[in-house]
Each structure stands twice: as structure tokens, then as C-alpha cells.
A and B are shown apart, each in its own frame.
Chain A
Amino acid sequence: MIAHAIVFYIFSLIAIVSAIMVTVSKNTVNSVFFLILDFISISCLFIMIGAEFLGMIMLIVYVGAVAVLFLFVVMMLNVAQQKNEWFNSSGRSSHIPVGLLVSIIIFFELIIVIGGWKYKPDLLDSIAIEINTDLTNTQSLGSVIYTDYIHLFQLSGMVLLVAMIGAIVLTFRQRSGVKRQSYFKQISRDRKDGIELVNVENNKGVKIDA
């Protein structure tokens, strides 16, 4: 049990320190790497409390896909130039009130959540679905999401679909003058379309219409 506690504190220490480093570190790419470290240690914590499915999904989705795209975008940005613009603009501290507001709201939300445990110790009993300890958590998650709450699941799927279509519509632009390969066009060409035999008269040449 002691080994368990030691490992837990190591992972939570790493998680907290890297979460702080995300906001503190000056280099944006380093921030993203700390964010990844944070995700990994959080998923280790998930695995430690026995939610191995959630931990693995966290690794696959957040670290394997979301953070890669994040890193991708951050690396492509010209960070140094952006930073200069940010600090030299006249309304230098304009982003501080908004950030402060958001962090205060999150802070109070956290207090409410943790305070709930303090004032209602039987909070765990009031959850809607019983915890079945016989099943593995993959099975129980599956039955909750796909059987008990299938309509909510499909509704959230629709929301995601709308978001996806919205993102595509916003970023899609038809550029003119881009040469694209069309397999169908290539294959459906035959000799008639491509080659023309011309009898050339001496000293006259031919006129070719491209």
C-alpha cells in the first residue's frame, strides 16, 4: 500500500509541477511539451484508481491526437514575432482582466465541487446509476453510454457533427489556378484526345492551339 501511495504522490507532483510550467515557461513549444507531460501523468493517475480504459483513452485522444495538432499549430506560428506585437501594443494589460475573471470563476467552481463533499458526505450514494463492481470498467462504461444514455450520446454526436461541418465551411476556400491531379480524367483520356497527327508542309510550320 505504501508503494501505491508513493507512486500516487510522484505522479500528482509531476502533474501539478508540469501544469504550473505550462503557464510559466516562456517558450510556447515547451509549454505544449509540459502540457503533454501533464496529460500523461493524469492518465497514469486514472490507471492507478482502476479506470484503465479512461486512462488509455486519455493517452490516445489527448496525447496521441489533440496535443499533436496543438504542437503542430504552435510550431507553425511565428511565436517570437507575435510576442513582440503583444507586448508592444498600447493596451498592454488588456488580456489580464479577462484571464482573471475566468480563473476566479473556475476557482469558485472548484470550491463548490470540493465543498459539496464536505457538506454532503453521502454524495457518492446520490449518483444516478449504480456502480456494478463485477464488470470491468470498459464494459460498464459501454453499457452506460450505449445502452442507458444512447439518446444523449447520439445527440452529442449530432452536436459534434454540426461543429465539424461548421469548421469545414469556415476554412474551406476554393482557390483558382491550382493544378490538381484527377485520376478519372487521366484514365479516361485516350489516344484521340492526346495525340494529333499533322502533315507539315515544307517551310510553313503548323499552328498549334493549346
Chain B
Amino acid sequence: MAELFVFFEQIYRILFLLIPVLVSVAMIVWLDRRVWAFVQKRRGPNVVGPFGLFQTLADALKYIFKEIIIPASSNKVIFILAPIVTMTLALIAWAVIPFSEKFVLADINVGILYLFAVSSLGVYGIIMGGWASNSKYPFLGAIRSAAQMVSYEVSIGVIIINVLLCVGSLNLSDIVLAQKDLWFVIPLFPMFIIFFISALAETNRPPFDLPEAEAELVAGYQTEYSGMMYAMFWLGEYANILLMCAMGSILFLGGWLSPIDLFPFNIIPAPIWLILKILFLFVLFALIKAIVPRYRYDQLMKLGWKIFLPFSLIYVVLTASFLMYFDLLPGN
């Protein structure tokens, strides 16, 4: 009986996390479009609901009632599995995100590795979708994005090593608590910039949205998808973007910590701070979408392998030497 109770409590906690995440994904799509419109001096979605807030819900409703078309020559199992994989991977990663010292679903030892692993699995949704469609444009998009995401993962991994050198633990709560005195964005500012750009590439956001470059590839790996399956790709993509923003704010912006531990700031509850930081990073994502033109493919690869990787490797050496010389290494 007690075990059953624990089981239901876990389910309740999971739902308590997942439903807000899904709702905020819907809101974030609206925010993305509003910011985009603001930069281009348009109004953006402003009709459905107050300030157009329900626009995404209306869109989702439309997608639900549209017909799902499965191409006759596709590999049907993998074709249907692809959006499910994308969506699932985007959501399971939220299990380890700490919203405050106590409010975390799974406080595991290797939290940052788990996040990294799940975000590196994200490429499978795209490859599966692109290959199973059995059509030229999706396949080209899938191949492109596989190369792109694997390349930028390498530099994200090296950046994570930089942060871990300063923390001495793989646990996400420890990473946040290590920033109590100084957020890592200050000593590791170049790494924060590179992390941000790599996160853009990892989530296939402009200016690195080559997998779905509409001028060349129609819609890339999503070309053959319709109705709810397309919407799931879309939701998964935005959930991934939110996740990358959360990862950035935990690694560099001090997670749930308030900027100054003084009266007006520290009465605001911890999860609010994390959400504010995620929103800040997301607005940057949205601004970049509006103002930067798309990269060419060889420039993208050059940036990843020849600039970001060597630079972040050198920064690892620098960080390690600095910590060693001033005897600041954690754990001794």
C-alpha cells in the first residue's frame, strides 16, 4: 500500500512538472513570435485572447483536427516514431532541472551528464524523421542536422568541463550552489558566449537553422509531416530550446539564486528567479532569430570545429592552470 502511495506521489510530481513545462512551451512560442514581430515593426499575433496569448492554443487545436498524412513509400514505424522520440527526449530532460534547493524531481549524482546525454540523443528524432520520409529534401535536412548537432555537441561538452572544473561535482544543485558568491558568467564569460551560440546550433535555431532552411530544403526533415505529428516536432523543438536556456542559466547564471542576497531580492521565491533567467536567455534567442542572417554550411562547420573547439579547449587549460596556481580547486 505504501509503495502504491509513493508511486502515485511520483506521478503527481511528474505531472506537476510536465504540465507547466508544456504550457510554458505554448506561451514561449507566442513570445518568440511577438519578439520577432517587434524587431520587424509588426504587431505579431495579437487577436486570440489577451495580447494574443492563446494564439498557440488555437494553432494546436488546428493541428489536432488536421489529417495526418503518412507517405506511401515511407518506413511507417520509424516515421511515426520520430516525432514521439523528439517530444519525449525534450520532456524527460526536465526531470533533473533544479528549480530550487528542494524542488527537483530527480537529484541525481551525474545530473549534468544526463542533460548532456539527453540533448545529444535529440538528433535521433531528426535523423529518423528525415530518413523514414524516403524523400530527397527531408533526407538532406537530416544529414545536415546530424553533422551540425554532433559538431556543436563537442564544444558544449568542453564548455561543461570548464564549469565542472570550478564546481567539482556533476550534480546540478551543487553546480548552482557553487555560484553563491560569483556567477560563472563573470569568470567564464567567453565560455558563456560560446555556449549560447552552440545552443543555437544545437537546437537548430536561426542563424543555424540549416536542417530546415526553407529557401533550399522546403522544410527539411519536417517536409512530409502534417497535423499532430508536425505539431509534436514543433513542441519538442521549443521544449528543447527552453531546456537549453535552463541549462545555460544553471551553468552560468546561477540557477535559482537571486542576483544579490539582500532584502527586496531574496523574498522572491527561488523558482521565479530561474524562470526569469530562462526567459531572459529565451528573449536573446528570439532576438537573434530576428536579426542575424543564416550561415552557409561550410561557415557553420568552420565555426564549430576550427574556432569554438580549439578556443574552448584552450580555455579548459587556462581555467585548470588558474585554479591550480591559486589553489582554488574544489574538493581539497
Name the B residues within 8 Å of A68 (CB-CB): 123-124, 127, 146, 150
Name the A residues within 8 Å of B113 (CB-CB): 53, 56-57, 60
Name the A residues within 8 Å of B120 (CB-CB): 59-60, 63-65
- Majority SS of interface residues in chain B? helix
If A36-B124, A59-B121 touch, does A138 touch B109 (CB 8 Å cutoff)?
A: yes
A138 adjacent to B117 (CB under 8 Å):
no
If A56-B113, A60-B116 touch, does A33 touch B146 (CB 8 Å cutoff)?
A: no
- Distance in angstroms from B85 CB to nearest chain A CB is 10
Q: How far is the CA of A65 from the CA of B110 in the complex (A)?
A: 19
Q: Select from chain A the residue with minimum beta-carbon distance to B153.
A: A64
8 Å CB contact of A56 from B3, B75, B117 = B117
- Distance in angstroms from A40 CB to nearest chain B CB is 8
B131 adjacent to A75 (CB under 8 Å):
yes
If A59-B121, A60-B120 touch, does A71 touch B127 (CB 8 Å cutoff)?
A: yes
A53 adjacent to B110 (CB under 8 Å):
yes
8 Å CB contact of B121 from A33, A63, A71 = A63
Q: How far is the CA of A103 from the CA of B242 in the complex (A)?
A: 47
Q: Chain A, 48-89, contact with B by CB distance < 8 Å: what is the 0/1 string? A: 000011001101100111001101100110000000000000
Assess whether B108 is interfacial by the CB under 8 Å rule.
yes
Name the A residues within 8 Å of B117 (CB-CB): 56, 59-60, 63-64
Of B3, B78, B121, most A-chain CB atoms within 10 Å:
B121
8 Å CB contact of B143 from A63, A65, A75, A136 = A75
Name the B residues within 8 Å of A60 (CB-CB): 113, 116-117, 120, 157
A-B pairs with beta carbons under 8 A, tally = 62
Q: How far is the CA of A63 from the CA of B117 in the complex (A)?
A: 9
Assess whether A21 is interfacial by the CB under 8 Å rule.
no
B143 adjacent to A72 (CB under 8 Å):
yes
- Majority SS of interface residues in chain A? helix
Q: How far is the CA of A42 from the CA of B209 in the complex (A)?
A: 33
Interface size on B, residues (CB 8 A): 26
Assess whether A14 is interfacial by the CB under 8 Å rule.
no
Of A36, A52, A60, A69, most B-chain CB atoms within 10 Å:
A60
Assess whether A29 is interfacial by the CB under 8 Å rule.
yes
A136 adjacent to B109 (CB under 8 Å):
yes
If A60-B116, A65-B120, A75-B143 touch, does A52 touch B108 (CB 8 Å cutoff)?
A: yes
If A53-B113, A68-B127, A72-B146 touch, does A33 touch B108 (CB 8 Å cutoff)?
A: no
B71-121 residues with Cβ-Cβ distance < 8 A to A are 75, 78, 108-110, 113-114, 116-117, 120-121
- Distance in angstroms from A177 CB to nearest chain B CB is 16
Q: How far is the CA of A136 from the CA of B157 in the complex (A)?
A: 21
Q: Select from chain A the residue with minimum beta-carbon distance to B113.
A: A56
Q: How far is the CA of A63 from the CA of B113 in the complex (A)?
A: 13
Assess whether B229 is interfacial by the CB under 8 Å rule.
no
Q: Select from chain B the residue with minimum beta-carbon distance to A50.
A: B109
8 Å CB contact of A65 from B139, B153, B170 = B153
A56 adjacent to B150 (CB under 8 Å):
no
- Distance in angstroms from B257 CB to nearest chain A CB is 24
Q: How far is the CA of A109 from the CA of B147 in the complex (A)?
A: 37
- Distance in angstroms from B101 CB to nearest chain A CB is 20
- Distance in angstroms from A141 CB to nearest chain B CB is 11
B116 adjacent to A65 (CB under 8 Å):
no
- Distance in angstroms from A2 CB to nearest chain B CB is 10
Name the B residues within 8 Å of A3 (CB-CB): 3
Name the A residues within 8 Å of B170 (CB-CB): 53, 138
Q: List 9 A-B contacts (CB under 8 A).
A: A29-B75, A53-B109, A53-B170, A59-B121, A60-B116, A68-B123, A69-B150, A72-B147, A138-B110
Q: Which 3 A-B pairs have the closest CB atoms?
A: A64-B120, A56-B113, A59-B117
Can you add 6 more A-B contacts, CB < 8 Å, to A60-B117, A72-B147?
Answer: A36-B124, A52-B108, A56-B114, A56-B116, A65-B153, A72-B143
